[in-house]
Amino acid sequence: MRALRLDRPGPIGDAPLRDGPAHDPVAGPGELVIDVTACAVCRTDLQLVEGDLAARTLPIVPGHQAVGRVVAVGDRVSGWASGERAGVTWLGWACGRCRFCRSGRENLCPEAEFTGWDRDGGYATRMTVAADFAQRLPEGFDDLAAAPLLCGGVIGYRALRLAGIEPGGRLGLFGFGASALLALQVARHWGCEVHVRTRSSSEQSRALSFGAASAAGYDEPTPALDAAITFAPAGAVVVAALRNLDRGGTVVINAIHLDAIPPFPYDLLWLERSIRSVANVTRADATEFLELAAAIPIHAEIENYPLEKANEALGRIHRGEVHGAAVLSIGEAAPGQKT
């Protein structure tokens, strides 16, 4: 098999991911081996590759939104067979015994292992996944279209739920990348009025074309929001969201790594406004979101790159040049391959 490995984090301009052969993985007890056909590229991968997110183990193969076909089934696996399509998400494993796991919050499990951070991920032709954490994917999405749903889509959905937005409510999205585009479609499906704030004028147009009620720069005020989600990895954007929040509203920060949040007057938080982060996802989040995505149906805008161009795809995310989601097509099963 082949993999793109990170030996040492560094600026993306230096192409830190190294392309090369790797040992074929074997399916341990409880594991599947899958032949990867598509893996979407997440901003978290960029933060890991550049060192903003500290590596937990090196070398590591990044990639936590992978789709492929099962080619080997380990001992003590039930419910999976060779040839079946499987999806791999960020939550690679959780203990199942701690108080978080036992209360439906496996995303907070202190022993959790994450794909592409603790376990080798999908920037490879082959990978292993704990069978209990592999996802079934709806038929309506081909491999390339399904991949970006697995992190950007699922985390956006969890953020919407934590924000407490009700059908018909007024929602703000601050920062507008792949995840926000998917969250916008869910919120519109729920009948919410959505206001998008982002620096990029092309992203503003895209938001309007997907049904946003308004789209403008961060300084442009919105009508009073019931809830807001921030996607930009900048603390100042959290304050921008808070400024537009109605009393009782919540700002959810969708970022694993964030700059310092600048000081702000307590008046912005007063009257039961709250700020919270969204961390990781549960299997239930993924299952619920994938069903919803198929029912809507959600449209994932993708830019397709061959596996060996992962450094280039990450560079384009770094420069804000990717529209929708960057997806690596891997092996021969990826349809419509182009660069």
Q: Is 42 in the site for Zn ion (CB under 5 A)?
A: yes
Alpha-carbon distance of 28 to 32, in angstroms, equals 8
Q: Is 108 in the site for Zn ion (CB under 5 A)?
A: no
Nearer to Zn ion, 9 or 169 (CB): 9
Alpha-carbon distance of 295 to 275, in angstroms, equals 31
Only one of the segments 88-96, 124-132, 168-176, 301-309 lies at the binding site for Zn ion (rule: CB under 5 A); that segment is: 88-96
Neighbours of 21 (CB within 10 A): 9
User: Tokens at residue 175, please?
Assistant: 């920062």
| Residue 122 vs residues 4, 38, 214: alpha-carbon distances, Å | 9, 8, 36
Q: Which of 15, 53, 55, 95 binds Zn ion (CB under 5 A)?
A: 95
Nearer to Zn ion, 62 or 331 (CB): 62
- Contact set for Zn ion, span 160-219 (CB under 5 A): none
How many whole angstroms from its chain centre is CA 231?
Answer: 11
User: Shortest distance, CB of residue 303 to Zn ion, whole angstroms?
Assistant: 16
Q: Is 1 in the site for Zn ion (CB under 5 A)?
A: no
Nearer to Zn ion, 148 or 169 (CB): 148
User: Shortest distance, CB of residue 257 to Zn ion, whole angstroms?
Assistant: 12
Question: If 0-12 CB within 10 Å is exposed, 13-18 middle and 19+ buried, where does residue 24 land?
Answer: exposed
Nearer to Zn ion, 101 or 131 (CB): 101
Closest CA to 61 of 111, 112, 19, 12: 19
Let me know: does 230 contact 175? Beta carbons within 8 Å.
yes
Name the E strands within the chain. 2-6, 17-21, 31-41, 66-73, 85-88, 91-93, 113-114, 126-130, 170-174, 193-197, 214-216, 225-230, 245-253, 274-277, 302-306, 325-329
| Residue 90 vs residues 121, 151, 288: alpha-carbon distances, Å | 9, 7, 16
Q: Which of 17, 91, 109, 328 binds Zn ion (CB under 5 A)?
A: 109
Q: Which of 73, 101, 149, 302 binds Zn ion (CB under 5 A)?
A: 101
Q: Is 236 in the site for Zn ion (CB under 5 A)?
A: no
How many chain residues touch Zn ion (CB under 5 A)? 8
Site string for Zn ion, 124-153 (x = CB under 5 A): ---------------------------x--
3-state helix, strand, coil in the chain (%, to 5): 30, 25, 45
Neighbours of 245 (CB within 10 A): 23
Alpha-carbon distance of 143 to 130, in angstroms, equals 20
Nearer to Zn ion, 149 or 239 (CB): 149
User: Tokens at residue 204, please?
Assistant: 């503003």
User: Shortest distance, CB of residue 42 to Zn ion, whole angstroms?
Assistant: 3
Q: Is 98 in the site for Zn ion (CB under 5 A)?
A: yes
Query: Is the backbone peptide bond immediately before 21 cis, with ω within 30 degrees of 0?
Result: no
Q: Is 278 in the site for Zn ion (CB under 5 A)?
A: no
User: Shortest distance, CB of residue 45 to Zn ion, whole angstroms?
Assistant: 7
User: Shortest distance, CB of residue 191 to Zn ion, whole angstroms?
Assistant: 27
User: Shortest distance, CB of residue 311 to Zn ion, whole angstroms?
Assistant: 17
Q: Is 241 in the site for Zn ion (CB under 5 A)?
A: no
Nearer to Zn ion, 30 or 169 (CB): 30
Q: Is 159 in the site for Zn ion (CB under 5 A)?
A: no
Let me know: does 173 contact 195? Beta carbons within 8 Å.
yes
User: Shortest distance, CB of residue 102 to Zn ion, whole angstroms?
Assistant: 8
Q: Which of 33, 37, 44, 304 binds Zn ion (CB under 5 A)?
A: 44
User: Shortest distance, CB of residue 109 to Zn ion, whole angstroms?
Assistant: 3
User: Shortest distance, CB of residue 43 to Zn ion, whole angstroms?
Assistant: 7
Please report, as ranges, the residues that interact with Zn ion according to CB under 5 A.
42, 44, 94-95, 98, 101, 109, 151
